[in-house]
């Protein structure tokens, strides 16, 4: 990143300016040390100092990336850790698998993906074969047995955390059974997170950045830091983070918050979600929230919003595909002369698909002149097939 000659204000007025100032001071101190180390130190230190400035047009995402820039080798690897790999694996034989990888990835880094392949592979031969097949796609599997998957993924993740983070609250049907099974599910959650950490530790090299994803792996930053406190760890949540009043109803609320705070950088989709997280840390843990994040015993965990979107260029390219053009022509002919209201959603209980259909029905009841002039086309992508509430929508 090239520098410029613009000086920063003495008193930072924003988060961006404070990050810039801190980076400048770190580089400046290195310049001073370098100048004292030898005859050639001045020239080397001057280069370090010159490189310490960040172009004032750089955005906050780029500046946030500099949090991981210290003391790393020139060629940096990114270890992306998620519950599921971006690969669908189907076992075809004792030592053979059929793999399909999804489109996407982080192209700016030398990336490795670490996660569960979505199937149970209990035998060593099968594990070695799948590991070899996935390595060609820069993917590294975490092998979870059926019992762990049931308690960790279907239990704690999907039955406890996911509803709570979407303001649905804890399960109400059988609270006694839920209470009895909660600790078992939470123990499995921590065990699974440790299994992910063990795989990360096996493949980690000095200078790597580890990027943990979503509510499935809230315990992972703590596991990684206990192994190596110099490891650069980020954690990003792909769902809402609820208000502190909702989060405090979770029995493991404090332990999960402190585990996430072990990360160097914590990211959310929106400012509100980030604010809720900082508020939960302040009100539940009693530690200080700052404009940059959360500070506990001298350690600052930066918290920020990083809105993400779809790969728009991929959709634009798809418009030119012959099969897409044919399908578009069929739809235009099928709905000729009528307005089309289209919805594209995951088949999920929080997406409001039944409510949307009922609302459309009510609209037609109250506006009879629109009948036969408008149609609702709903595309629902099956997901979370292990969650009974989602299957009820089918």
pLDDT in tens, 5-26: 444 445 555 555 565 566 666 6
pLDDT band at 82 (very low <50, low <70, confident <90, very high): very high
Residues 324 and 207 in one domain: no
Token match 């030898």: residue? 38
Token match 């996660």: residue? 115
21: in domain: no
Which three-class secondary structure state does DSSP give residue 309?
Answer: coil
Residues 174 and 290 in one domain: yes
Of residues 389 and 130, the one with the higher pLDDT is: 130
pLDDT band at 44 (very low <50, low <70, confident <90, very high): very low
Residue 144 has pLDDT above 80, yes or no: yes
Residues 370 and 301 in one domain: no
The answer to whether residues 122 and 148 touch, using CB atoms and an 8 Å cutoff, is no
174: in domain: yes
Read off the pTM. Answer: 0.73
* Among 261, 232, 230, 226, CA closest to 81: 232
183: in domain: yes
Residues 386 and 270 in one domain: no
Residues 101 and 125 in one domain: yes
Of the ranges 6-15, 243-252, 376-385, which one carries the lowest mean pLDDT score? 6-15
36: in domain: no
% of the chain beyond a pLDDT of 70: 73
Residues 300 and 334 in one domain: no
51: in domain: no
Q: Supply the Cα-derived Rg of the chain in whole angstroms.
A: 25
47: in domain: no
72: in domain: no
Residues 192 and 254 in one domain: yes
Residues 351 and 259 in one domain: no
Q: Which of 244, 274, 305 is the last residue of a domain?
A: 305
The CATH number given to whatever domain includes residue 234 is 3.40.50.2000
Residues 385 and 251 in one domain: no
Residue 34 has pLDDT above 70, yes or no: no
**Average pLDDT, integer, range 352-366:** 93
Residues 247 and 349 in one domain: no
Average pLDDT, the chain: 80
Q: Which of 278, 305, 332 is the last residue of a domain?
A: 305
CA 182 – CA 63 distance, rounded (Å): 40
Residues 265 and 301 in one domain: yes
Domain residues for the domain of 317 are 313-392
1: in domain: no
Of residues 92 and 175, the one with the higher pLDDT is: 92
Structure tokens at 86: 């971006």
| Predicted pLDDT of residue 107 | 52
Q: What helix, strand, coil percent values describe the chain, rounded to 5?
A: 45, 20, 35
- What single DSSP character describes residue 199? H
Residues 191 and 325 in one domain: no
Residue 161 has pLDDT above 90, yes or no: yes
Residue 149 has pLDDT above 60, yes or no: yes
Q: How many domains does the chain have?
A: 2
pLDDT band at 42 (very low <50, low <70, confident <90, very high): very low
Q: Which of 305, 331, 364 is the last residue of a domain?
A: 305
């Amino acid at each position: 990143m090239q520098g410029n000659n613009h000086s920063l204000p003495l008193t930072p007025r924003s988060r961006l300016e404070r990050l810039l100032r801190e980076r400048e001071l770190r580089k400046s101190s290195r310049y001073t040390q370098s100048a004292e180390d030898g005859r050639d130190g001045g020239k080397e230190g001057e280069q370090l100092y010159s490189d310490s400035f960040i172009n004032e047009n750089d955005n906050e995402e780029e500046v946030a990336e500099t949090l991981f820039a210290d003391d790393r080798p020139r060629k940096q690897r990114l270890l992306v850790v998620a519950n599921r790999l971006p690969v669908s694996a189907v076992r075809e034989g004792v030592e053979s698998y059929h793999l399909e990888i999804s489109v996407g990835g982080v192209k700016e880094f030398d990336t490795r993906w670490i996660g569960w392949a979505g199937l149970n592979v209990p035998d060593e031969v099968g594990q070695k074969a799948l590991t070899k097949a996935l390595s060609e796609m820069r993917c590294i599997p975490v092998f979870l047995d059926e019992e762990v998957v049931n308690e960790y993924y279907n239990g704690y993740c999907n039955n406890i955390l996911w509803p709570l983070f979407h303001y649905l609250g804890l399960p109400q049907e059988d609270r006694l059974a839920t209470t009895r099974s909660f600790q078992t599910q939470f123990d499995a959650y921590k065990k699974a997170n440790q299994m992910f950490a063990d795989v990360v530790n096996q493949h980690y090299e000095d200078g790597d950045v580890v990027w943990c994803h979503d509510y499935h792996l809230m315990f992972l930053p703590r596991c990684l830091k206990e192994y190596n406190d110099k490891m650069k760890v980020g954690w990003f949540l792909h769902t809402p983070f609820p208000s502190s009043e909702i989060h405090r109803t979770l029995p493991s609320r404090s332990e999960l918050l402190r585990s996430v705070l072990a990360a160097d950088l914590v990211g959310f989709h929106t400012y509100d979600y980030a604010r809720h997280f900082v508020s939960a840390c302040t009100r539940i843990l009693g530690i200080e929230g700052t404009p940059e994040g959360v500070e506990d015993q001298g350690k600052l965990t930066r918290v920020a919003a990083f809105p993400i979107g779809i790969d728009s260029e991929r959709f634009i390219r798809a418009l030119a595909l012959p099969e897409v053009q044919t399908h578009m022509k069929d739809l235009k002919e099928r709905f000729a002369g009528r307005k089309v209201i289209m919805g594209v959603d995951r088949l999920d209980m929080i997406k409001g698909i039944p409510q949307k259909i009922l609302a459309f029905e009510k609209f037609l009841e109250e506006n009879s002149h629109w009948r036969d002039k408008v149609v609702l086309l709903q595309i629902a992508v099956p997901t979370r097939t292990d969650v009974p509430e989602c299957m009820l929508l089918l």
